[in-house]
Amino acid sequence: LCTVLTRGFCLHPLWQSELSVSGGTRQSPINIQWRDSVYDPHLKPLKIHYDPTTCLYIWNNGYSFQVEFDDSADKSVIMGGPLENHYRLKQFHFHWGAINEWGSEHMVDSKVYPAELHLVHWNPVTSTSFEEAIMENNGLVVIGVFLKLGAHHAGLQKLVDALPAVKHKDTIVEFDVFDPSCLMPSCPDYWTYDGSLTTPPLTESVTWIIKKTPIEVDQNQLEEFRMLLFTSAGEEEKRMVDNFRPLQPLMNRTVRSSFR
Ligand SMILES: Oc1ccc(S)c(O)c1
Ligand SMILES: [Zn+2]
């Protein structure tokens, strides 16, 4: 008997209606075909300067858990890489599967990972707020980091220990002094391409920077993600799993690499 594993066979309502944006030409996520990516020698190393004291709280927004940062000043910023100026960190969140065989949004040569971290930044030079930047052509930069099953991740564990406090949708817990740099792989290599949010409003405002090397997390840490709920307290419980959007067509785009 051949068991065919289909990724995310029961899509969250969020994406059932939003599977495609009419007229979208740069939607995300995509499958990164390593051999089709083009090395760009002009790409600089990505510079990351996060101030741990800008971390504010964690909340369950009904499709992921999200860690929010104080973005009222240039305290936690990224620059360099493919970027023309600095971008401010606003939040980070994850996408994951019900089992380890799927969960990430992007793929590399059709390889899928159990989860994917998104660090979301906005352009304070061209926008006055995150909400405005979402609608701007190059308003956002999202760094994507793949999570693979392996060793325990000590830095992630501080996050994981807080998850029971945000089990239900629209719950929140204070979370101060956390440096998300600890979630970044040491390898500097990345791909970059022009894309979109993978959750509504799916706006085509994102410069994606996808790190080549995954970070390792252990089984217990992934299981803690899967204990979260899409649903509010008092509602019939729906486990928060498979909160990833299906692959989108590459169309007329080139993925650039920072490495040969
Ligand atoms: O604000 C957001 C930016 C990017 C992505 S993938 C989100 O899910 C929300
Ligand atoms: Zn995301």
**Which residue carries 């939003």 as its tokens?**
18
Interface pTM, i.e. ipTM? 0.93
Query: What DSSP element (H or E) covers 159?
Result: helix 154-162
Q: 19-29, pLDDT tens digit by residue?
A: 556 679 999 99
| Ligand 1 closest atom vs CA 198 | 6
Q: 119-139, pLDDT tens digit by residue?
A: 999 999 999 999 999 999 989
- Nearest-CA residue for atom 8 of ligand 1: 199
Task: Copy the structure tokens of residue 165.
Answer: 């406090």
Q: Can you count the helices (H) and strands (E) in the chain?
A: 4, 15
Q: What is the residue type of 150?
A: G
Ligand 1 midpoint to CA 120 (Å): 7
Task: Copy the structure tokens of residue 227.
Answer: 């204990």
Q: Is 199 in the pocket of ligand 1 (CB under 6 A)?
A: yes
- pTM here? 0.95
Q: 196-254, pLDDT tens digit by residue?
A: 999 999 999 999 999 999 999 999 999 999 999 999 999 999 999 999 999 999 999 99
Residue 193: burial class (beta carbons within 10 Å; 0-12, 13-18, 19+): buried
Ligand 1 midpoint to CA 123 (Å): 15
